[in-house]
Structure 1
Amino acid sequence: METGGPMRKLAMFGGTFNPIHNGHLHLVQGFRERLGLDRVLLIPSRVPPHKAAADLADAKDRLEMCRLAAQPYGLEVSDAELLRQGPSYTVDTLRQLHRENPGAELYLLMGADMFLTLEHWYQSGELFRLARMCAAPRDENGRGELLAYAERIESLGAKTHVEELSLLPVSSTLVRGRIARGLPIAGLVPKAVEAYITAHHLYGGISNG
């Protein structure tokens, strides 16, 4: 994992990124601005433990798409979970970040759905000790649910941030579905990612080349 000198606020945003899309980037940018984050690491998972991995692109392709998407935004990308054998448990990644960045305050960024399952994550108590849990509601009606859950896990030792961020209605499932049906994905993913998907025939797409 590539790490520089100690920074005050270091965030990780993990996921399958199958593929990474503009909704991911918009969310990360919102968190970075709202929380004053110094560094943000995008960390694609090798074997996601929380959901089925249907139509999962090869790890090297997902990593490269993350790198292409991250570059214009000054984000960093880590292959830490892709190199690790077995399921990608977030607590293991946070332990590694803590070891390699002892002066940093760690933040774990996520969407609402993942946030609402945190107490059931592997070694959740250790997870809460290592980093601040950060989420944004899916819509204007979701803030109350997140705040109530934040209060619940704070009683278990968590430190939380529930932020009001505008979200883009994009999902990896939507992107893959449009590709498989031969529909355009312009505006849903960065142009460099779109070009990579086309060039490498990912998700059932047909190359224009």
Structure 2
Amino acid sequence: MPAPQPAGTTPLVLFGGTFDPVHRAHISAARAVSRVLGDAPVHLLPNAVPPHRPQPLADGEQRLAMLSLACAPYPALTADDWELRQSGPSYSLNTLRHFRDRIGQRPLVFLIGADSFASLHQWHHWRDYTGLCHLAVVPRPDCPLARDEVQAAFPEASADALRQQPAGLRLMLQRPFLDVSATAIRDALARKGQCPALDDAVIAHIHRHHLYNVAHSPSEPDSDNEAP
């Protein structure tokens, strides 16, 4: 594991998404990027109005609460409500500009899945990202490669290289896989009231607040324990 860096050079990692609900793969990915970058802090930011996907089923307050519970055991992880407090679509570009202004020339890393990297050429002003952040790309099974122009815009580099400059490089992680479907999780909750991809505290919160049409109490026996 890399040695922790001085506060001024340790990257800040941003991880956005709907987190509807947050699951174990989200937390595993955030922890993995934190470790490889020298115990870097990771801010997980729930979208208020995701611009490229259906709107979340749980409201922002509930998604932030679940995220806070999932992050609580890990000092490097923070549930951040910045996007929830903004109006209009939650464009990542606006988030990156805000945090870049806030941290100056400190390295800023944007954590995304390989599927998002493959479609980056379709994102809002994606070329502006090269001057704002590095990318940390977490693998997904059977994901297509990004276009050559996208790969060229963010040259692949080591974790050490990312710590040496503010933005413009790409770290490709080999694991963990972001291979959990939030849709399948919500379906499992509606059918069985349980899902092994969720932290116990998150499941308890879902039942306490009657989210995702849960079928029964988590204390009831569950004869079907397969993952979604």
- Does residue 1:171 correspond to 2:181, yes or no? yes
TM-score (norm 1): 0.86
1:124 deviates by: 1.2
User: What is the rounded CA distance, in whole Å, between the counterparts of 2:30 and 2:83 in structure 1?
Assistant: 19
> What is residue 196 of structure 1 aligned with on the other side?
205
Of structures 1 and 2, the one scoring higher in RCO (CA 8 A, sep 6+) is 1
Distance 1:7 1:200, change over 3 A: farther
> What is residue 46 of structure 2 aligned with on the other side?
44
Percent identity between the two aligned chains: 32
- Does residue 1:110 correspond to 2:112, yes or no? yes
1:48 deviates by: 0.6
TM-score (norm 2): 0.79
The alignment partner of 2:108 has SS state of strand
User: What is the rounded CA distance, in whole Å, between the counterparts of 1:168 and 1:113 in structure 2?
Assistant: 9
1:14 deviates by: 0.3
1:9 deviates by: 0.5
User: What is the rounded CA distance, in whole Å, between the counterparts of 2:174 and 2:95 in structure 1?
Assistant: 26
> What is residue 77 of structure 1 aligned with on the other side?
79
Write out aligned runs for 1:129-168 (5 A).
129-139=131-141, 145=145, 151-154=151-154, 158-167=168-177
Deviations 1:97-126 (A, max 9, x none): 112222421000011111111122112122
User: If you compute each CA radius of gyration, which structure gives the higher value, 1 or 2?
Assistant: 2
1:165 deviates by: 0.8
User: What is the rounded CA distance, in whole Å, between the counterparts of 2:24 and 2:149 in structure 1?
Assistant: 27
User: What is the rounded CA distance, in whole Å, between the counterparts of 2:47 and 2:95 in structure 1?
Assistant: 10
1:206 deviates by: 4.3
- Between 1:32-41 and 1:86-95, the stretch displaced more is 32-41
1:30 deviates by: 1.5
Q: How large is the Cα RMSD of the aligned pairs?
A: 2.4
Unaligned runs of 5+ in 2: 1-6, 156-166, 220-228
1:146 deviates by: 5.2
- Count of residues paired in the alignment: 200
1:153 deviates by: 3.3
1:66 deviates by: 0.6
Deviations 1:69-101 (A, max 9, x none): 111012111111111111001111111111222
- The letter for the 1-side match of 2:154 is E
Deviations 1:12-55 (A, max 9, x none): 000000000001111111112223242100000001112122x5
- The letter for the 2-side match of 1:198 is H
User: What is the rounded CA distance, in whole Å, between the counterparts of 1:147 and 1:34 in structure 2?
Assistant: 26
User: What is the rounded CA distance, in whole Å, between the counterparts of 1:158 and 1:117 in structure 2?
Assistant: 17
Q: Is the 8 A contact 2:193 2:214 kept in 1?
A: no
Moved segments of 4+, more than 6 Å: none
